[in-house]
Amino acid sequence: MCGICGQLYCDRQRRVQPETIHRMCQSIVHRGPDDQGVYVNGHVGLGSRRLEVIDLQTGHQPMANEDESVWIVFNGEIYNYRSLREELKINGHRFKTRSDTESIVHAYEEFGEGCLEKLNGMFALAIWDVPRQRLFLARDRLGIKPLYYYFDGKQLVFGSELKAILQAPGIERSVDLVALNNYLTFEYIPSPRSIFQKVHKLEPGHYLTWDGGDPVKSSYWHLSVQANDQQDSGRRLRELMVDAVRLRLVSDVPLGSFLSGGVDSSIVVALMAQLADGPVKTFSIGFKDSSYNELEYARAVAERYATDHHEYVIEADAVELTEKLISHFDEPFGDFSIFPTYLVSQMARQDVTVALTGDGGDELFGGYDTYLAQRFDRRFYHWWPKAIKKGIFEPLADRLTPREKKKGLVNIFKRFIQGARLPGELSHARWMIFLTQAERMLLFSPEIRDQLAQSDPYDFLRQHAQDAGQVDDINRSGYVDVKSYLVDDILVKVDRMSMAVSLEVRVPFLDHRVVEFSFSLPPDQKIRGLQTKYLLKKTMNDLLPAAIRRRDKQGFSIPIKNWLRDQLRPMMTDLLAESRLRSQGFFNGAYVSRLVDEHLRGVENHSHKLWALMVFESWYQAYMKNTG
User: Taking the mean position of all CA atoms in its chain, how far away is CA 572?
Assistant: 26
Quote the CA–CA distance of 501 and 345 in Å, as a whole number.
Answer: 7
DSSP letter, residue 115: G
Residue whose C-alpha is closest to residue 47's, from 70, 63, 59: 63
Quote the CA–CA distance of 370 and 427 in Å, as a whole number.
Answer: 9
Alpha carbon separation from 242 to 236, 359, 363, 514 (Å, rounded): 10, 16, 19, 10
**Whether the Cβ atoms of residue 250 and residue 339 lie closer than 8 Å to each other:** no
Beta carbons within 10 angstroms of residue 424's beta carbon:
11
Paired strand residues for 531:
528
Quote the CA–CA distance of 361 and 373 in Å, as a whole number.
Answer: 18
Residue 127 makes CB contacts below 8 A (sequence gap 6+) with 70, 71, 72, 104, 105, 108, 135, 136
DSSP letter, residue 31: G
Alpha carbon separation from 562 to 289, 369, 500, 553, 612 (Å, rounded): 10, 23, 26, 22, 15
Quote the CA–CA distance of 586 and 609 in Å, as a whole number.
Answer: 15
- The runs of H, that is alpha helices, within 544-588 are 546-550, 560-563, 569-575, 578-584
Is 5 designated active site?
Answer: no
Planar angle of CA 569, 573, 577, nearest 5 degrees: 175
The catalytically annotated residue of 2, 5, 25, 115 is 2
Alpha carbon separation from 237 to 53, 250, 367, 472, 518 (Å, rounded): 28, 21, 16, 21, 8
Q: Cis (ω within 30 of 0) for the bond into 62? A: yes
Catalytic (active-site) positions: 2
